[in-house]
Amino acid sequence: MKLHREGYLIIAIGLEILALIQAGNYFLFTYTNWLWLFILLSLGVLVMAYLIIQFFRVPNIKCQFEANDILCPADGKVVVIEEVEETEYFNDKRIQISIFMSPLNVHANFNPISGVMKYVKYHKGLFLVAWHPKSSTDNERSTFVIEHANGKSVLFRQIAGAVARRICYYVQPEQTVTTGEEFGFIKFGSRIDLFLPLDSEISVKIGDVVKGRITKIGKLKE
């Protein structure tokens, strides 16, 4: 496991603040009748330090996939699988699969398929809760389209939530990408939407807990 570069500054600041809190806790309560409060606050500081560090963790995972596999782009829970009209790029019907990411999930995001990045666009927007039906179209978001070697394309979208207010991505149009490579990061809880061709084979169902770079979302048809 490693720590994501997006977390270096936040972790440093967070640990510094927690160290100051613990120092104050030590001098105020160690030598008083409030020793139980010192212990309680010390445990709280340790928990907060753990939560800050674990949020930016990135497990070392070796991807295993076949040419037409669609791998999960993020850790989380499948909350939507439905046929919708995709209006930003394709302007046709697609299968939408949405993955909700809680603050306890790994928040690095990964390419679901290999191919050429044909579309990259950031949109300013609202900060509705990530499970709100309109968050996919009204929230701050970044949209990407990869064209696979077999001619099929997949659109996927990072969506900010009520807490997640910074979306980071590291890809450019016409860049060749590989399944499972990191393309971005979302700070704090949010969601990822995928829009797949209607003839795609789907391997997940609503309620499934999925893992980025491990769970197979489905398969592109030739």
Query: Going edge to edge, which strands form the sheet with 153-159?
Result: 176-177, 115-123, 141-147, 153-159, 190-196, 92-101, 76-86, 209-210
For the entire predicted model, the pTM comes to 0.84
Architecture field, domain 69-219: Distorted Sandwich (2.70)
The answer to whether 196 touches 221, Cβ cutoff 8 Å, is no
* pLDDT tens digit sequence for 143-156: 999 999 999 999 99
* pLDDT tens digit sequence for 1-45: 788 878 788 889 999 999 999 998 888 877 777 888 888 999 999
State the pLDDT at residue 138: 66
Question: What percent of the chain stands above pLDDT 90?
Answer: 59
State the pLDDT at residue 29: 79
Active-site annotation holds for 190: yes
What mean pLDDT comes out for the span 215-222? 94
The yes-or-no verdict on residue 218 having pLDDT over 80 is yes
Range in 133-142, 173-182, 183-192, 213-222 the model is least confident about: 133-142
State the pLDDT at residue 188: 66
Q: Which residue in 135, 142, 190, 200 is the catalytic one? A: 190
